[in-house]
Amino acid sequence: MDFTLILVVIVLVSGVIYGLDLLYFKNKRNGREPGIIIDYSRSFFPVLFLVLLLRSFLFEPFQIPSGSMLPTLKIGDFILVNKFDYGLRLPVLGNTVVEVGEPKRGDVMVFKYPEDPRINFIKRVVGIPGDTVEYRNKVVYINGEAQTLTQVTPDGSLVVPPLTEEASEQLGDREHRIWRRMTQGRDFGPIQIPQGQYFVMGDNRDNSNDSRVWGFVDDSLIVGRAFAVWMHWEKLLSIPSFSDVRIIQ
């Protein structure tokens, strides 16, 4: 279900009814109370319009559904996505109307899944337009240069799966942690990224459905940059936790 599309439709319908009431029906009522449809439209339109503006151009909440971004993001993390960093985009259509900025290497980005745009995905930007990306022996190479990777000791907040090591990786100006299996992996590339496209990978490198499988992310599919975790709620019957509120690295 595309919540943004539903919200846009409701705002349009309630806005049209509200406008018609102001311009026409209000003068015809002769002081009588409006019907329930007009009354609801007048009440909900301003609130829903404000929500649409906030979700479309400033911030939008998402929940992490899978473990592809472990150890950075856990299943059940509720995140905030900055919709402004990558430019102002029309809701539903995704067209950029005001250029502000572009995704950078190391950003954690939310986008519409290229093979089914109804689904939102979250991955880390590894390559930007013009880059040549290669993944060899579980190390990322950008334009032929190996990205710094240092094995680290887990902080104990997560149970690291067997035969898995945690490492610190440097991508652009951003340092973050990844998981990688201590087994033979599948090399990828080198491949050059076309203009208007981005190469993304999950931090849980051996358990991620990403650009190594389905290709690049087109600029039109970008939703925004994930920048903070504000709540964790893994199961419906569990108690939400605010003990791990943090900025996303």
Q: Measure CA of the first residue to CA of the last residue in the chain; give whole Å.
A: 30
Q: What is the third-level CATH fold of 60-247?
A: Umud Fragment, subunit A (2.10.109)
| Structure token digits, residue 234 | 């893994």
CB-side exposure of 51: number of CA atoms within 13 Å? Answer: 14
52, 83, 103, 118, 248 from 99: Cα distances, Å: 20, 12, 12, 24, 24
Q: Any idea which residues carry the catalytic annotation?
A: 68, 123
Strands (E), 24-162: 59-63, 77-82, 88-89, 96-98, 108-112, 120-127, 132-136, 139-142, 145-146, 149-151
pLDDT digits (tens, 9 = 90+) for 146-190: 999 999 998 888 889 999 999 999 998 889 999 999 887 789 989
Cβ(172)–Cβ(106) below 8 Å: yes
Cβ(91)–Cβ(4) below 8 Å: yes
pLDDT digits (tens, 9 = 90+) for 48-71: 888 888 877 788 889 999 999 999
- The length of the chain, given as a count of residues: 249
Residue ranges of the chain that CATH labels 2.10.109.10? 60-247
My answer on whether omega of the bond before 194 falls inside 30° of 0, hence cis, is no
Give the residue-averaged pLDDT of 190-209.
96
Whole-number pLDDT of residue 84: 87
Whole-number pLDDT of residue 1: 54
pLDDT digits (tens, 9 = 90+) for 60-110: 889 999 999 999 999 999 999 998 888 877 777 777 777 778 999 999 999
